[in-house]
Amino acid sequence: MRKLIALSLAGAAVSLAMATPAVAAPMANDPMCNPGATKLTWTSVSKSWVVTHRKVLENYTGGVVTKTFSTKKVNEVTASVTATAGTKVSGKVAIASLEANVGLELKAEGKRTSTKEETVKYELSKKGTYVFFHGTKKASGYYTQYRCDRGTKWVKTERYGKVKSWTSDVEGGLRCGDSVPKASLAATAKKKYC
């Protein structure tokens, strides 16, 4: 009975080790892999907020004002996959891999942020300069593709490239004299437009 249990556990460990390279962080020297499988490793990965639309407004009426107005485009972010060497890899695969690396849900290749004016309704409760904005968090990185050689090691395919994409839109407003969270789109808008 003990021998059977030990054998079953050992078999489970072997199966787990064989499956791990497909889902674990890519390493060029993984000991085992599925022949013909490919994976991407990443360098220079970044993610940052970008303001795509904005409107600056001053309120010196002394009372509460509710306004609806349009924010104009100031930046554009496009999702793209480009090859810097070798043949380009699948855009869907590359963006999904970057998505897992940065922990964001990214837009598909070819998508871009809105080029139209965006409408914002906001209450101005104090005197001062206000900034109203739309934006998103963009992500980018450079990939290197590896292929599993005979199930024993990962080898470079000489395919390299860059991926850029972005996540869901965020909108908001701030009064320039107020404090905002440092890691927010509002902080980026305040630094650039106040």
Task: Say whether pLDDT at 182 is over 70.
Answer: yes
Contact 49, 137 (CB under 8 A): yes
pLDDT single digits (tens) 18-77: 233 333 344 445 557 888 899 999 999 999 999 999 999 888 877 787 878 788 999 999
pLDDT given at position 30: 52
| Cβ-based neighbours of 117, under 8 Å, separated by 6 or more | 53, 70, 71, 72, 73
pTM check: above 0.75: no
